[in-house]
């Protein structure tokens, strides 16, 4: 595992934060809804939930969840992305680090939810994915949710995440073809999955 290179840094060189920030700012200025992820996450959680945005990028989702009344922490290994997040919301907690090696005390778990949006799952370092999921599960409150959305045709299949979550003691409670809760089908190229740590709990409300 130690010799593998993180897929995101290999693809971008860790320099594309300003580009991503501009892209979403332009979409918002054109009237596009850029908060689909936060809207669904908000519906799944009680007000004031503690959320870790794992692979937070420019902070778009964490900032919006904070605006909606949640308590968020963002972590990312891309310094250029975190620079944009800190500029957007200097009052929030932004932590630089890889999900597998970041110091736990800097994040102060447990969390009511851990979010892996924006294709974080497919850009993890190869062969570390299961270990990352297990570590994130360890940061959840009993009954906490791991909420992930990613392209289902790149490196990782929907069943891979489901297996890693099962190995970490979580079970699937929701799966859709997008953040708008479109019904999942066998030919979908995108998946949103919600896994819960506590088997005694029912399906989350929201979709």
CATH 3.20.20.150 assigned to domain 7-196? The reply is: no
pLDDT digits (tens, 9 = 90+) for 186-199: 778 899 999 999 86
Per domain, the residue ranges of the chain are 7-196
pLDDT-derived band at 2, boundaries 50, 70, 90 = very low
63-66: list long-range contacts, CB under 8 Å, 24+ apart. 63/88, 63/89, 63/92, 64/35, 64/38, 65/38, 65/41, 66/92
The model's pTM: 0.91
Phi, then psi, of 53 in degrees rounded to 5? -90, 95
pLDDT digits (tens, 9 = 90+) for 84-129: 999 999 999 999 999 999 999 999 999 999 999 989 999 999 999 9
């Amino acid at each position: 595992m130690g010799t593998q290179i993180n897929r995101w840094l290999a693809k971008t060189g860790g320099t594309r934060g300003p580009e991503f920030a501009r892209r979403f700012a332009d979409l918002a200025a054109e009237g596009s809804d850029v908060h689909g992820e936060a809207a669904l996450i908000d519906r799944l959680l009680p007000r004031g939930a503690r959320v870790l945005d794992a692979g937070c990028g420019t902070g778009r989702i964490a900032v919006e969840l904070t605006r909606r009344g949640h308590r968020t922490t963002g972590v990312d290994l891309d310094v250029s992305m975190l620079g944009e997040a800190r500029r957007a919301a200097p009052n929030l907690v932004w932590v630089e680090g890889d999900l597998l090696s970041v110091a736990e005390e800097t994040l102060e778990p447990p969390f009511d939810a851990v979010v892996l949006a924006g294709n974080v799952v497919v850009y993890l370092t190869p062969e570390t994915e299961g270990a990352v999921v297990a570590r994130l599960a360890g940061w959840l409150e009993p009954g906490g949710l791991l909420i992930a959305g990613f392209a289902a045709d790149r490196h990782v299949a929907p069943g891979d995440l489901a297996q890693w979550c099962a190995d970490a003691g979580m079970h699937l409670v929701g799966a859709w073809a997008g953040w708008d809760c479109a019904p999942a089908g066998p030919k979908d190229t995108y998946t949103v999955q919600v896994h819960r740590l506590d088997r005694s709990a029912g399906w989350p409300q929201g979709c």
